[in-house]
Structure formats: structure tokens, C-alpha cells
Structure 1
Amino acid sequence: MRAKLTLSVSDLAHTRFALCPMWEVVTSFRALIGTPVPALHRGWAAQVRPRCAAAGLDHGWLADMIAPTGHLPDFLNPPPTGYARTLDEELATIAATDPRQVRQDLDYLAAERGGRLPPRLRALYRDPPAQLPRLAAEIEAYWELALAPYWARIRAVLEADVFHRARQAAGSGTARMLNNLHETVRWDGDSLLLTERHCRLTRIATGGGLVLAPSAFAWPRVLTRAVAPDPPQLAYPARGAATLWESRREPRTDALAAVVGRSRALLLAELDSPASTTELAHRADLSAAAVSQHLTALHSAALVSAHRAGRSVLYARTALADALLDAQP
């Protein structure tokens, strides 16, 4: 498969990067249902799959809509209006999608699946305004279970990728930056050539410019979106994604313990992967009541974030806590 995207001077002038939570939703869900799960994400999937199954997300809206290969509904990836939209902003846009766009995407899915859609998607086809809020609610539930506890780490990888490519464009030009996005992407004079694409892309009637969206879960593919009148989007594998789930070196907490206390410093160190109060109590050899008290204090200080997972709550280190641990001598 090959596509040619001709870019004008105006398009190049309006080429920009964007961090898009919904690209991480659709690509991570596709990775999660892979057989097998890509080796890069198996550690993450081992933690997330049981939570999603317990919440019924393994046979919900996303499972009906996203297959391991094939078309990804374009309306799930609305055009970014800034550098970093929040998930809530993207979900509001999805809930207000033009019914014609929803039905067009579902027609593509039906064509890929022999002309049939599951009952949920047939209901969505009949009445998009009534069903889209239900889809948005499930996406939010999936985000809380599968991505929010890890978002500080994921976003750091995405930010580092954008910083690297912005410096590359500044030092060597936009053409070299585009040539280095992915092995299937090549700049050729006035056009961007894409091979082995996994989404539709056409320049006809699409908007000006180009949106480049780094993704921690897109590997090994480049994914595209082209819906008039929006500018086309390229979601490409972010640099550093291969190190995303690597265990960090055991942090020294002596200096931090002098400020926040030994037990709280220990809990921050144990939160290299998200965990519940019970899990942390077992890891740190503390009572659940003591852990709960410490986590409340750490949450108030913005050092941990809390995410509902069924009847329990998962706690995760924030970027601020990561920075404090990384600064230890």
C-alpha cells in the first residue's frame, strides 16, 4: 500500500505536533487485544488486562469498534485544536460528532466485516447522538484503568519525542525531520510518501497543514486520519517507547525521606508501577491503615494520583514525584 501526500508551502508552514490522548486510547486498546500482545507492551498488558476484563471492557464498545487490524473509526481521533488537548475535551468532541461521519465510519467497518455490525454498533448507526455519550463513558472508564495511572510516564516519552524532532527540524530542516519519523515515511521534493499504511489517507478535500502525533502504542505502524475539512494526521511511534515499561533503577530515598518521612519515601519508590493500598501495604510491609494515611498526604502534595479501578483505587506516582526520585544523589 502506498500513498502520496503533496504538501504546499502553506501546509509545511502549518505542520505541527500534538499530544492526543485518543490516539493512545485506540492504539493501546489495539495492542491490548493483539494475539500476541506486542512484546514491547506485555508487562503493561499483564497489569491492565485483568482490570479491563473485570470491568467488562473486553466485550464493550471499544471491543466492537477496534479490531487488531483494519480501519479505525476516524471520529475517535478528532482534530486537535492545540498542542495538548485533554481527554475530556476530546470526548466532548466525540460526543458531538456529526452523525454522517459516524455512519460513514461504520459503513467502512461493516464493509470490512462482511456487511454486518454487532448490535451496539447498529444502535449507534441508527441514533449517533443517543449512543455516543455511552461510548464516551466507556472510553473514560478504559482511560482510568489502562492509561491514567501511567500517563505521567507516557507523556514524558511523548514530550521528549516532540522536543527531539523540533530540534532536528530547527537544526537540519523539516524535510530531514519528516524523513526520520518512520521507515515507511519519506519526504520526496514536495510530497510525503507513505507505504504500508494502516488507515485511509487522501489529500482530496482535506484541510491544510499536517498534524504529527507521537504515540507510545502505535509501534510498529504509522496510522493516519484524513477527514475534510480537517488537516490530515499522522500518528507515529514515539522515540523512547521501547524503554517505557522498563523497571527503573532502585531509587535511593535517603534525602527524600528526610523531607517527607521514610515510609512515604518508601511508598513513592514502590510505586514504580501503579498499585492499590492493599498491594502497597504488602510491598512495603506496612499496615493498610498506615498506607492509606500516607497516600492521602502524598495525594494532597500532588506526588501521587488516584484512579478508580472497580472497587479499589490505583495509586501512581506523578511527574513531580518522578523528578524528586530522579534527583536523589
Structure 2
Amino acid sequence: MLELAFSTRDLAHTRLAYSPLWEVVTSRRLLERGATGALHRRWAEQTRPRLAAAGLGTGLLADLVPAHGYLPDFLNPAPGTLAPSAGASAALEAELAVVARTDAERIRADLERMAGWTPAVEAFHRDPAGVLPGLLDEIRGYWEAAIAPHWSRVRAVLESDVLHQSRRFAAAGSAAVLQGLHPSVEWCTDKLTMPQVLCGESGSLAGRGLLLVPSAFVGPGSTMLLNQPGEVVQLCYPSRGVGVLWEQSSTPVPEAVAAVLGRSRALLLAELAVPASTTELAHRTGLAAGGVSQHLTALRAAGIVASHRSGRSVLYQRTDLADSLLAAAS
């Protein structure tokens, strides 16, 4: 059981962001735990051979992210923006630049909180500055093998969760968002209670605020907490919509909607269960990118889809009108 004590200042400074580096850590931990569950099984079956071929099946990153217990906080600096760049490599580099500047004593202090050191961790403790560049390269290699091929899907799910939670902030306030992270999470006056936390410690936010970070790879009902003195507290929680993350494109097109809008536009609406870019929609539907763009422009003009910029990409999403239309047709 873990408890976080809030002040009025902390509630005022509670915000949302998603992070490529958090996806590295949470997915690496999922692989270390072995039992990925039905949801991520196919991803794990594809990813493990890629990591082995790249010599990344084991190594310092795996040692630093054990299946259970504490993992070094310096691996997850607080994201500086709500939504990082959509480009797979560019999305990671800003966070790695922060990790690269980590003070040697901070690294040693984090490592000393870990149990069961391996020889690689011992070498890292002896010479943080000398080993850190190699760790960063290992993270880049892991990203390219495990996350980059799927980043557009993962990013769309995370982006959708952030948008949903932002609307809840506006409609019901921060307390409703906090309590809605999972049925087992409880909010009472000035305290958040979480019974299933994979790592982290109880304490006061002490005016630092709370950063909520959705992840596609944190198990249902579980959370991960970073509560480092002097830094914003980060709570990584399971993202909404992760159930459709690995689904193949076989979305049924409501015939009634197709009769009114045309089959291509109805297909695009059906595919927009989570926000997506023109390129991604073209890939998933088989439609030409130019045609997708034209259809989306028409749907946006009619108020059926909305768009917003995320890094270098423009993401489209269904509006309430579209959801009502699809619900009525089904």
C-alpha cells in the first residue's frame, strides 16, 4: 500500500505527459517478468529474437530494470513537454540528453538502492561517467528493436489517453482524474492511496506536484512511482485503449454510415478509435495518402473529426458527433 499526501499547491501543479523513455523502461520490465499476458504476447515473441540478434537480450539495461522492485530513478527524467516529437528517434533523444547529464553521485545513490548487483552494475557504480555512454547506446538499440517499429501505434494510444484525461480535468477536476486511474485507487480529502505499486515510496508531494504518465506496458491495475527529493513526482499508470494496441486492421464498417458518407470515409471513422495521422491511416486502410487527406478534410469541415498537432505530425480523432453516429448505426 502506498500513499501520497497532497497540498492545494500539489493539486494545482498536477499535469500529464507521455514519455518514450518510460515506454523503454516499462516494456523492458515486462520482458524481464517473463509472463507478458495475452495482450503483449505477440509483441514479446517478435521482440525477444530481435533483441537477441542485436546482442541486447541481456546487458546493463536488463540489470537495471529487474522484474520486481526498485529501478534507478535517473532512467526516467520528467518529460519536459506534454507530447514528444512523433519521430521515432527524435522522440527519445531529448530525454536521453537529460540522462547523459546525470551527476555521478546521483547515479551511485540510485544504484545503492538496488538489490542483487550484477558485475555490470558494480562496474557502473565504480565509474558512472565511463559506463553511462554505453548504457545510452544500449537504450537506443533497445528502442530501435522493441519500440520504434510500433511507435506510431503506441504514441496514438498514449495521445488518446492524455486527451481523455485532459477532458476529465476540465470537466470534473484533478481529484476525479486521480481516482479514475484505476478502481483500486482511492482519493480522500488530501491523500491518494494506491494498493498495487510496482516500485516507489509513500510520502508527501511537498509542493512539487504530480506528473501523470500513461504507459502501454504497465500491467492492468499496476502503477510505478518516482518520488525523488527535489524533483517532480511521477506516477506511471496503465494507458486507456491499450486493448486495441496490437489489433490488426479489421474494423467493421457500419453499412448505414457508409451509405451516407461513402465507404472510404466510414472506414476512416471506424479506424479512428484512437488518434492517428494521415500516413498511419493510409497504411492501415490501404487508401492513398492523398485520398485520406481529402476525406479527413471533408470530415473535419463537417465536425465529424477533429485534428491537433503532436510534434511534427497532425493527429486526427473522432468527435462526439462521430461516436454518436457510429453508435446509432450499430
State whether TM-score is above 0.5: yes
AA partner of residue 57 (structure 1): L
Output the CA distance in 2 between the equivalents of 1:132 and 1:47: 28
In the superposition, the TM-score normalised over structure 1's length comes to 0.73
Matched-pair contact (CA < 8 Å) for 1:206–1:232: no
Output the CA distance in 2 between the equivalents of 1:38 and 1:31: 9
Please say which of residues 151-160 and 30-39 is displaced more in the overlay.
30-39
Secondary structure at the counterpart of residue 51 of structure 1: helix
Equivalent in the alignment of 2:306: none
Equivalent in the alignment of 2:187: 187
AA partner of residue 216 (structure 1): A
Quote the offset at 1:81 in angstroms: 2.1
Secondary structure at the counterpart of residue 113 of structure 2: helix
Please say which of residues 235-244 and 99-108 is displaced more in the overlay.
99-108
Output the CA distance in 1 between the equivalents of 2:110 and 2:146: 25
Equivalent in the alignment of 1:236: 237
Equivalent pairs, count? 264
Output the CA distance in 1 between the equivalents of 2:233 and 2:28: 22
Please say which of residues 98-107 and 22-31 is displaced more in the overlay.
98-107
Quote the offset at 1:80 in angstroms: 2.0
Output the CA distance in 1 between the equivalents of 2:67 and 2:164: 30
With over 3 angstroms needed to count, the CA separation of the structure-2 counterparts of 1:241 and 1:191, relative to structure 1, is same
Secondary structure at the counterpart of residue 164 of structure 1: helix
Matched-pair contact (CA < 8 Å) for 1:206–1:231: no
AA partner of residue 152 (structure 1): S
What are the Cα deviations for residues 99-144 of structure 1, in whole angstroms up to 9, with x where unaligned? 22211221122xx32xxx2222111101111111110111011111
AA partner of residue 129 (structure 2): P
1:49-68 aligned within 5 A? 49-68=48-67
Output the CA distance in 1 between the equivalents of 2:9 and 2:282: 50
Please say which of residues 67-76 and 228-237 is displaced more in the overlay.
67-76
With over 3 angstroms needed to count, the CA separation of the structure-2 counterparts of 1:236 and 1:250, relative to structure 1, is closer
Output the CA distance in 2 between the equivalents of 1:270 and 1:191: 46
1:247-266 aligned within 5 A? 247-249=248-250
CA RMSD of aligned residues (A): 3.0
Output the CA distance in 2 between the equivalents of 1:321 and 1:166: 16
Please say which of residues 72-81 and 136-145 is displaced more in the overlay.
72-81
1:123-142 aligned within 5 A? 123-142=123-142
Secondary structure at the counterpart of residue 92 of structure 1: helix
Output the CA distance in 2 between the equivalents of 1:202 and 1:269: 43
With over 3 angstroms needed to count, the CA separation of the structure-2 counterparts of 1:321 and 1:147, relative to structure 1, is same
With over 3 angstroms needed to count, the CA separation of the structure-2 counterparts of 1:189 and 1:321, relative to structure 1, is closer
Equivalent in the alignment of 2:275: none
Equivalent in the alignment of 2:19: 20
1:264-275 aligned within 5 A? none
> Which of the residues 98, 102, 107 maps onto 2:112?
107
Unaligned runs of 5+ in 2: 85-90, 254-262, 266-279, 285-289, 291-311, 318-330
Matched-pair contact (CA < 8 Å) for 2:83–2:159: no
